[in-house]
């Protein structure tokens, strides 16, 4: 099943995505079994980030080729970081490049686990069962800021720097898929989604030794490859079996 | 006025704190003007973190004496970091020290700004007006983990490591107060709350150059001094004009 959140009359409404329609739901499918209140057409739906987490976990160095490219050493244990909700934006919404950003401005295509159960001290199997479904993230990064600043506050968390969507897919073997990054329709990277140092369940086992993870929390799994993006471009992240997350890039001040 | 969140029958309810009672409110005073639904006695109230933010901002090096003590250089611009909601706990709830923690386990007494308006590209005056009120935070830190790990994930964000409360005070000149840290009733540190490198409004001006800050977001302002805490202790952070945040410390596995 595919679940999304769409904007209806300015309100965020959960939806179940069908062939041509999105069925509007009475509540979150993560929390219960909502009923159908109506439908909107899928081709005109306004997509929101499919969930707004209480805690937004993100993995940095997790694909061997990316670690090699970064000149870093392979982590010997799964350590997690954070991103911020203000930066979330939905499928088809613009990534706004701040006017002050100089140097490399890049897309990072990532698999995202959406948690469905409260877990603490989880076993690998409990971690596996705690995942409600999978979506796609683009960890947009301004590299000059990333290297200048003490934290990732603006390099990775400026408004619109975290496109997520288009929906949560509950029925997919997420680690057996292919992640593809396209710029203006051209493939810029493609890699096996599951070619990770530590998989999402390894991370959840480690995190929940000390932390309670809650329904709706998200875990972004890192990228193997990146590509530069500029205003005027359209960047797409596809994960087979899940979908395509597509966002135009605009320059701050030039938004339509 | 003082606003809190209390647990009533297992549910989080907003309250207005009076002399002997807490008036239970129909909704958040940050979002509107709620009505009074009933009261509970203040001396038996179960205090929750007074707000759960969408984004949890935290300042690191912000008091000159703390920066000197840490051997760091004084920041030349206000850069912000993040903490995680799972770690929040309320006034009187235990700080649980994980069994695995070795070395220095410390309390950091902090002023917290609670945001009441949506702001972006804020002027200093707009930032000043955006603050709904002020509360108190204790940025509990496990130093060995802080130095071992690539991120602050477990050193500062393990469950119960972020006591916040007891309430939000809306009528106080927060930067003209004194912050006092007490361990088992003994004063371990006292410093002028406002003796900061950058004040909360400086931070909000800088953050909102690139980030939309929302009602309910919190900004923890850093500490000048810290003290070691151990299971069996009770740690109190007082900020004059706001209140006292008190938490017992327990060892993991020994919770009552």
Alpha-carbon gap, residue B248 to B103, rounded angstroms: 19
* Spatial CA neighbour of B11 closest among B29, B30, B24: B24
In this prediction, residue A255 carries a pLDDT of: 66
- Cβ pair A150:B207 closer than 8 A: no
Alpha-carbon gap, residue B102 to A179, rounded angstroms: 41
In a domain, A72, yes or no: yes
Do B43 and B53 belong to one domain?
no
Do B68 and B115 belong to one domain?
yes
Alpha-carbon gap, residue B136 to B237, rounded angstroms: 7
Q: Are B83 and B157 in contact (CB under 8 A)?
A: yes
Alpha-carbon gap, residue B138 to B252, rounded angstroms: 19
In this prediction, residue A66 carries a pLDDT of: 87
Do B32 and B75 belong to one domain?
no
In a domain, A256, yes or no: no
Do B76 and B193 belong to one domain?
yes
In this prediction, residue A71 carries a pLDDT of: 87
Domain count, chain A: 2
Instruction: CATH number of the domain at B36, please.
Output: 2.30.30
Q: Note the pLDDT tens digit of each residue in A19-42.
A: 999 999 999 999 999 999 999 999
Whether omega for the bond prior to residue A166 falls within 30 degrees of 0, making it cis, is yes
In a domain, A56, yes or no: yes
Do A33 and A158 belong to one domain?
no
Please, what's the largest Cα pairwise distance for chain A?
Answer: 52
Alpha-carbon gap, residue B183 to B181, rounded angstroms: 7
Do A166 and A133 belong to one domain?
yes
Whether the predicted pLDDT of B45 surpasses 90: yes
Alpha-carbon gap, residue B164 to B47, rounded angstroms: 10
Q: Note the pLDDT tens digit of each residue in B178-209.
A: 999 999 999 999 999 999 999 999 999 999 99
* Spatial CA neighbour of B207 closest among A74, A58, A87, A78: A87
In this prediction, residue A244 carries a pLDDT of: 98
Q: Are A40 and A23 in contact (CB under 8 A)?
A: no
- Cβ pair A214:B79 closer than 8 A: no
Structural domain range at position A21 = 1-47
Do B175 and B206 belong to one domain?
yes
In a domain, A67, yes or no: yes
Instruction: CATH number of the domain at B155, please.
Output: 3.90.850.10
Do A26 and A137 belong to one domain?
no
A-chain residues within 8 Å CB-CB of B84? 55, 82, 211
pLDDT band at residue B256 using 50, 70 and 90 as cut-offs: low
Do B61 and B43 belong to one domain?
no
Q: What is the mean pLDDT of chain B?
A: 96
Alpha-carbon gap, residue A90 to A101, rounded angstroms: 22
Whether the predicted pLDDT of B145 surpasses 80: yes
Do A9 and A84 belong to one domain?
no
pLDDT band at residue B111 using 50, 70 and 90 as cut-offs: very high
Residue numbers of chain A with a pLDDT score lower than 50: none
Interface of A with B (CB under 8 A): 52, 54-55, 60, 75, 79-82, 84-87, 98, 120, 149-151, 153-154, 157-159, 207, 209-214
Do A61 and A133 belong to one domain?
yes
Instruction: Enumerate the H helices of chain A as residue ranges.
Output: 64-69, 124-130, 143-148, 200-207
Q: Which two tokens stand for residue A224?
A: 């193997």
* Spatial CA neighbour of A124 closest among A198, A235, A39: A198
Alpha-carbon gap, residue A221 to A116, rounded angstroms: 17
In a domain, A86, yes or no: yes
Do A12 and A55 belong to one domain?
no
pLDDT band at residue B70 using 50, 70 and 90 as cut-offs: confident
- Cβ pair A55:B120 closer than 8 A: no
Number of cross-chain residue pairs from A and B with Cβ atoms under 8 Å apart: 80
Unique residue bearing structure tokens 């934290």: A151
In a domain, A58, yes or no: yes
**Complex prediction ipTM:** 0.96
In a domain, B256, yes or no: no
In this prediction, residue B104 carries a pLDDT of: 96
Percent of chain B with pLDDT over 70: 99
- Cβ pair A214:B86 closer than 8 A: yes
């Amino acid at each position: 099943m595919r679940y999304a959140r769409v904007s209806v009359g300015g309100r965020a409404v959960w939806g179940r995505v069908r062939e041509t329609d999105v069925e509007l739901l009475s509540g979150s499918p993560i929390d219960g079994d909502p009923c159908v209140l109506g439908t909107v057409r899928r081709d005109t739906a306004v997509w929101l980030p499919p969930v707004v987490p209480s805690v937004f976990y993100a993995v940095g160095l997790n694909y061997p080729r990316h670690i090699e490219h970064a000149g870093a050493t392979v982590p010997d244990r799964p350590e997690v970081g954070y991103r911020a909700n203000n930066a979330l934006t939905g499928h088809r919404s613009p990534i706004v490049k701040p006017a002050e950003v100089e140097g490399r401005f890049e897309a990072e295509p990532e698999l995202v686990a959406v948690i469905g159960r409260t877990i603490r001290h989880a076993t690998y199997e409990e971690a596996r069962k705690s995942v409600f479904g999978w979506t796609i993230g683009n960890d947009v990064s301004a590299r000059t800021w990333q290297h200048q600043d003490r934290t990732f506050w603006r390099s990775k968390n400026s408004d619109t720097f975290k496109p997520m969507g288009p929906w949560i897919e509950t029925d997919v073997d997420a680690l057996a898929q292919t992640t593809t990054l396209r710029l203006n329709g051209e493939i810029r990277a493609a890699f096996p989604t599951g070619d990770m140092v530590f998989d999402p369940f390894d991370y959840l086992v480690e995190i929940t030794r000390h932390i309670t993870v809650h329904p709706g929390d998200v875990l972004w799994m890192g990228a193997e490859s990146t590509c530069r993006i500029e205003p005027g471009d359209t960047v797409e992240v596809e994960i087979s079996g899940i979908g395509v997350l597509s966002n135009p890039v605009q320059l701050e001040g030039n938004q339509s």
